[in-house]
Structure 1
Amino acid sequence: MKKGFKNLALTTLLLAAALGHAQQKQQDIDKKVDALIAKMTLEEKVGQMAQITLDVLCKGDNRFSSTQPLTLDDAEMKKVFGKYHIGSVLNIAGGQAVTPQKWYELISGVQKASLATDKNKIPVLYGVDEIHGATYTDGATMFPQEIAQAAARNPKLTELGASITAYETRASNIPWTFSPVLDLGMDPRFPRQWESFGEDPYLCSVLGVAMVHGFEGNNIGDAQKVASCIKHFLGYHAATSGKDRTPAYISEDALREYHLPSFKAAIEAGAQTIMINSGVINGVPVHANYDILTKLLKDELGFKGLVVTDWADIENLHKRDRMAASDKEAIVLAINAGIDMSMIPYQYEVFCDNLIALVKEGKVKQERIDDAVRRILKVKYALNLFDKPNTNPKDYPKFGSKEHQKASYDMAAEAITLLKNEGNVLPLKKNIKVLITGPNANSMRTLNGGWTYTWQGDKTDQYAAKYNTIVEAVENEIGKANVTYIPGVSYKAGGHYYDELADKMDEAVAAAKNADVILLCLGENSYTEKPGDMNDLYMSDLQTELAQKIATTGKTVILILNEGRPRLISKFESNIKGIVQSYLPGNFGGDAIADVLFGDVNPSGKLPYTYPRYPNATISYIHKPSEEQKKAEGVYNYEADYNPQYAFGHGLSYTTFSYKDLKVNKASVKKGENVQITIVVTNTGKVAGKEVVHLFTSDLYATSVTPDVKRLRRFEKIDLKPGESKIVTFELNPKDLTYVGRDGKDILEAGDFEISIEKLKATFTLSE
């Protein structure tokens, strides 16, 4: 037997053995769960379906706030666990991050109280929004936010970052993260776009799967892995108003074509849990939508995991959405729709007492309760919580290590996107005088964004003082003597994220005469969810004023964008020589920005969304041909035609790349056959660089619905030395060429398709 065949045979045997072991383990868990459910009372089962926030369990003036230092309330815990059998806890209390040791003290105390009062010895399932690192853990490694990771287009780095986050989350004694966000970030107005992987379903799918793999590995019982929670199912970012938790109107074909693929991919990758969209789709709150939660998610997609609500969303069916006349009616709607666990988060008595009553009244079937509890217990067993309910930080020596920090820096360096480089003004020389101005120049808060040490990220500066702001990183790069920093505009301390004030603006403009280059650091302060809602997508008035005044100095101006969503810059963009988009790059973002500015790093990021030029032109790159009705000669000037400031996938380099020899292996392909595409990419410049090769397809004609102009189907990031060439090969299968019809069914039609990579195009015909 040849060596290659021996290796293949061995690999096949190992895979079969691993699969067999996993199946056996799942069967063992199923038996344990069934035996446990048979012993549980209705009250105990309902308690497992309830999740409360940590504030409820800590001493304070009331259950809505806790006093510092955080101390568990033994009397309240006795009631919570002894009488109500609550099965899950989330969040931090008191609005501050704590050390891994404090997390261990708190959660081990919670576990001890629960196990001491529960005859079945069922451990608590503790969950936290570990969005871009161990969010509420002091000293944890904070990575670039998801939108920046999407710009990096490097699934290996995304998986590594999630793996490190899982490690540091377990070091904090937390086994469950409410991440990744797999919502399609198509709307730049939406306050949570930065939490997503951007506007493309394929990109979201690839990176979502990478993050799930990083969090969960092959076994979430491994003490270095956590259960992931993909969210927010489904169509959350598509709110008509562009504001958080507001109604959306999404056709069946659009829901399945654009919003579903990332969730489907993550479910197939083994994601253990899922969180539900807080909003309303086509008039029905998703938390009460049986068609979405049971028919689509559980039946069609075959999701076997735990379905959890978002914050207080069963209550919202009554209090906000007016779908239910009482809390009790809201509970029956949500549980019967398919919710397994309610993130209550405070009034647990209302949920538990009412759900118990609803079962006794026959309005919620015992089978629905058992199904929900079975899903919850399976996750607890899979996490090995019954045998090891706590993980001690002393067993995690790599927490916050240099190794972990380097992974965060590497991601930031690959994410930063060079949008404009007029006259090759970048990279900058290191023997120059620099003026740095703008509200984002000297802030760790703005580099990280929300979900950093606190919910809104408003205390980040005090926790992240040891890391470098943009100002500090540039000073390290070229020396303090060569740097002048004047804010020009500042964010008001303690105010809303958009509260700004002029801060020595005229002084900043006057100082420009002594500088060779001005680094203008604009963007947004940190925010997330409803507090991030906005009414004006333009860069703020004060920042726009600063930009316009700085541009009149005649000096070379480099705009550094540090923002969660693309704030419009068309009022001053034409007067700027160079533009660097940093997104929300994390604690090492300042260092990465400086390294890009001065040429230590060759930028390789690509836009994960369309950067709009005007507030009424926010169309995604995924759009219909009618959005591109070119002006008729001498008749109309279609100013509002598709005209982004910068297109999806845009991103420059300090080197140049050429593309040639785009080839499709077959001119005619039958349904069921794969298509192979090759292209040669060459670094034609003088420095090494990384390039993302995007492959788009266009269905030239479709019969059920008008086709999209183009869709991303594959991408690959390559690294090329000067003069080096690589052949990049992609393979498409017929599934990539399907689209969803008006009836919600996949359609694969014979006809002509176009492949485009960079500016090259090729066609092939799909035949019956």
Structure 2
Amino acid sequence: MKKLYITMISLAFLNGLCYTVNAQKRPLAASAIDKKVDALITKMTLEEKVGQMTEVTSDVVSKSGGGAHELDPEKLKEAIMKYHVGSILNVTGTAYERSHWYDVISQIQKAADQDRLKIPVIYGIDAIHGVTYTVGSTLFPQEIALAATFNKSLARKMGEITAYETRASYIPWNYSPVLDLGRSALWPRIYETLGEDPYVVKTMGAEIIKGYQGNDVGDKYHVAACMKHYLGYSFPLSGKDRTPSWIPDRYMREYFLPSFAEAVKAGAKTLMINSGEISGVPVHASKYLLTDVLRGELHFDGIAVTDWRDIQYLHDRHHVAATQKDAVMIAVNAGVDMSMVPYDYTFYTYLIELVKEGKVSIARVNEAVHRILKVKYELGLFERPVGNPDDYPKFGSDEFRQASVQAANEAITLLKNNNHVLPLKKDIKVLVTGPTANTMRSLDGGWSYTWQGDLSDKFAANKNTILEAIQQKIGKENVTYEAGASFDSLQNIDETVKAAKNADAIVLCLGELSYTENVGNIDDLNLPAAQTQLALELAKTGKPVILVLAEGRPRIVTDAESKSAATIMAYLPGNEGGDAIAGVLFGDVNPSGRLSITYPRYTNALVNYYRKNLENGNSDDKHGYNPLYEFGYGLSYTTFSYSNLRISKPELKDNETLSISIDVKNTGQLEGKESVLLYISQLYASIAPDTKRLRAFDKISLKPGESKTVTFKISPKDLAFVNDVSKTVTEAGEFKIQLGDQTQSFNYVSEKDQPSRTGRL
């Protein structure tokens, strides 16, 4: 017994010594928090450290059955006292009042306070467009719609309000924003992204993070952001969720990495890892991506947490680990700090064994634990593990709702308006029909009150569907409603057509029901045939059809859209989306949204706007780039003119800045907002250049007849691309600027680079 005791003391000493040596590798100017973390880690046993790296779902510490969610004191005690669990996430099946969240978090932190070192638990949740699991929260448009506003201040405002209401639910960690590049139209999570453009994703994403974390992430109104899903998750070859991607390193760095690099600069505290695999390598097993690139190149020093069960899946799905224990070894050595296990304690058991066997170093464990504890200190959890219920009087307030209203209003994108059929007059008879017309699920999407958003009609019952918003706008007596079709089958079509003949206009609401992740996988991007058939039958009446698309991805609607008099892309505009759509339809809102994705015309013609020149087609190829609507497209009820494009100099040199200015005038009769998009094209380069790339944007408001000058500053680094040896370079040559219908060229001259390309091989 004495020998065993001496051995334990020796292990504890070596444990602390290893940590001290590891800590000394950090910069000498360690923060006060770093010093606190260092001191705490020297007191921790291996078991306590590994516990901090373990994250379980709330089901593990809750009573099963019985309907209402209730913690199980014995299970909670086991999680904290035996396994020293550092994090808990999620909640099952429904949304709860703030009072319930207060009880849950209080019980968990009270249990944590009974453990030897009294380390608080960090609770995490997916609040990607508002707080998901709390009744009465403010739900904003999904990210794909937020991006369509091209309004950076709205992105930050959404972050601030979501952070406030997440903390008001006593939760300090938000698994958001999604920084994946929305390039694959089939992918079921594209609506969670900020669209297809790398510059928009990195810019709007950084604003959301700044909103979440504020100037002091530890105050009672902000939360730790979690940039996800690192890296390349959104571009699976099949379009199906969690299926393999094939992305070369150069391509990855050019398009997918910039949003995460910008998020690190913005101070994001945590990161969630891509569940898939890239070119055959699961990201959870990639030391290159998780350590060499993430830590070595981006200098990220926050928590890297797995996604759901993804270490276990290294064995079960990816087959790169022969056993579950090997999976833990591979993932932790690759750079994983925290395992979202989430249903058991196998990760804890295996990792302790691996450290004792010398297969995972104590230094690697200490490194991970340091990051976890540092975030807990930064969040103020040691001083304030549970918030004060009285500190959040603005939760669910009208002030917050108005911000969501503005975001929805600015997101709605008018794609077609033949003969100025819109806005509609308020004294006409309208038929409202289609499967998305009378459900909040098609406005909110997934991650709304529940994972799949399947209870939105219950928890958002006080919000207006599209139908209800139109009824409020022009009076129920002027509105007829017929379903016409479900999402995949016709319903009462004869009655619907008959009603259409008696109406002055038809508002046809097509699209999708809520979904996310693999539940949303589809085999065909075409809109279900029943919805198209409904559109074609209604068009035969000769009445103007206003097509409203409420959908999480750009389903192919070419046949139906060809018959519409006007087309509105609503995306998933959130709880205030019904009112925003009605406002656009009847002229109380002047639409200003621009497409954040390219809307394809055909199922297999899925090309992003920053295509290569080879994809444009030529005289012998009639199947080149020809989308239904291009990224950045959107109409208004007023008109804008662009003039006097000017640059500060004809040549840009190293360490210089080019000033680009344009005059924008409202030439119509209504006040309106205009997103000013700066595209720049490099004519020739050592890597085939993109046709054009968005390099800056701004949004302005103009009264009728008013003009404003918009100025952008461009430096050589803004023109850079990743070359064939994965280096970011700016090559000398000619560049073309495009702002509206105005173009101008300039040259970049550099002594460091090769001469301008002539186009010859």
TM-score by length of 1: 0.93
Report the counterpart of residue 758 of structure 2 in structure 1: none
**Which residue of structure 2 lines up, in the alignment, with residue 19 of structure 1?**
none
Q: Which residue of 2 aligns with 1:115?
A: 113
Q: Is 2:35 the counterpart of 1:31? A: yes
Q: Distance in 1 between matches of 2:141 and 2:217?
A: 24
Paired residue secondary structure (1:380): helix
Conserved? CA contact 2:312–2:327, under 8 Å: yes
Displacement of 1:369 after TM fit?
A: 0.1
Q: Which amino acid aligns with 1:534?
A: I
* Equivalent residue runs for 1:656-671 within 5 Å: 656-671=639-654
CA contact (8 A) 1:670 1:767 kept: yes
- Aligned pair 1:314/2:318, yes or no? no
For 1:3, the equivalent position in structure 2 comes to none
Conserved? CA contact 2:617–2:623, under 8 Å: no
- CA shift, 1:154, in A, is 0.7
Q: Find the counterpart in structure 1 of residue 497 from structure 2.
A: 509
CA offset at residue 629 of structure 1?
A: 2.3
- Taking every aligned residue pair, what percent have the same amino acid on both sides? 55
- Shift of the alpha carbon at 1:392? 3.1
Q: Does 1:128 align with 2:110?
A: no
Q: C-alpha distance in 2, partners of 1:525/1:762?
A: 45
In structure 1, how many angstroms separate the alpha carbons of the residues matched to 2:647 and 2:733? 16
Which residue matches 1:521?
509
**Does 2:699 align with 1:717?**
yes
Q: Name which of 186, 189, 208 aligns with 2:186.
A: 189
Aligned pairs for 1:10-49 (under 5 A) are 27-49=31-53
Superposed displacement of residue 510, structure 1: 1.4
Matched position secondary structure for 1:122: coil
| Counterpart selection for 2:61 from 27, 42, 57 | 57
Task: Report the CA distance between 1:669 and its aligned residue.
Answer: 1.7
Aligned to 1:650: 633
The correspondence of residues 398-417 of structure 1 with structure 2, limited to 5 A, is 398-417=394-413
Q: Give secondary structure in 2 for the equivalent of 1:427.
A: coil
Equivalent in the alignment of 1:98: 96
Match for residue 420 of structure 1 among 398, 409, 416: 416
Partner residue, 1:341? 338
Judge conservation of contact 1:148–1:585 (CA < 8 Å) in 2: yes
CA contact (8 A) 2:652 2:716 kept: no
Aligned-pair CA distance for 1:668 = 1.4
- Secondary structure class of the residue paired with 2:35: helix
Correspondence list, 1:292-441, <5 A: 292-348=289-345, 350-441=346-437
Aligned with residue 134 of structure 2, among 107, 131, 137: 137
2:571 matched residue in structure 1: 583
Q: Which residue of 1 aligns with 2:6?
A: none
For residues 547 and 701 of structure 2, what CA distance do their matches in structure 1 show? 27
Q: What's the offset of the Cα at 1:472?
A: 0.6
- Provide the rounded CA distance (Å) in 2 between the counterparts of 1:392 and 1:459: 28
CA deviation after TM superposition for structure 1 residue 710, in Å:
0.4
Q: Which residue of 1 aligns with 2:658?
A: 675
Q: Is the 8 A contact 2:505 2:544 kept in 1?
A: yes
Query: Counterpart in 2 of 1:688?
Result: 671
Distance in structure 2 (CA, Å) of the matches to 1:602 and 1:26: 52
Aligned to 1:258: 255
- Correspondence for 1:747: 729
Does the 8 A contact of 1:695 with 1:755 survive in 2? Answer: yes
Distance in 2, matches of 1:67 and 1:49, equals 31
Tell me the distance in 1 between the aligned counterparts of 2:603 and 2:568: 21
1:717 counterpart SS class: strand
Which ranges of structure 1 fall in alignment gaps of 5 or more residues?
1-22, 61-65, 492-499
Alpha-carbon shift at residue 758 of structure 1 (Å): 1.3
One-letter code aligned to 1:462? K
Cα distance in 2 between the residues matched to 1:582 and 1:394? 37
Letter in 1 for 2:263: A
Residue aligning to 1:180: 177
Residue from 549, 555, 569 that aligns with 2:557: 569
1:582 partner letter: A
Q: Does the 8 Å contact 2:680/2:737 carry over to 1?
A: yes
Q: Could you say what secondary structure the match of 1:307 adopts? A: strand
The CA deviation at 1:24 is 13
Q: Is this contact kept in 2: 1:252–1:742, CA < 8 A?
A: no
Cα-to-partner distance string for 1:211-251 (whole Å, 9 max, x where unaligned): 00000001111100000000000111111111100101111
TM-fit CA distance, 1:502: 2.3
Deviating beyond 3 angstroms after TM superposition, the runs of 4 or more aligned structure 1 residues are: 23-26
Look up the equivalent residue of 1:390 and give its one-letter code: V
Paired residue for 1:9? none
Count matched residues: 724
* Aligned-partner SS, 2:425: coil
Asked if the contact 2:329/2:359 (under 8 Å) is kept, the reply is: yes
User: What residue is the counterpart of 1:495 in the other structure?
Assistant: none
| Counterpart residue number, 1:68 | 67
What amino acid is the match of 1:140?
Answer: S
- The reply on whether 1:619 has 2:607 as its aligned counterpart is yes
| Residue 410 of structure 1, CA deviation | 0.6
Give TM-score scaled by structure 2 length: 0.94
Distance 2:200 2:426 in 1: 36
Contact 2:436–2:511 (CA under 8 A) maintained in structure 1: yes
SS in 2 for 1:250: coil
Supply the RMSD in Å over aligned alpha carbons: 1.1
1:69 and 1:596 map into 2 onto residues whose CA distance is 41
After superposition, give the CA deviation of every residue in 1:637-685 in whole Å (9 maximum; x if it has no partner): x332100000000000000000111111111121221111011111000
Deviations 1:144-168 (A, max 9, x none): 0000000011111111111111111
Residue 573 of structure 1 deviates from its aligned partner by 1.6
Does the aligned pair in 2 maintain the 1:144–1:585 contact within 8 Å?
yes
**Is this contact kept in 2: 1:234–1:277, CA < 8 A?**
yes
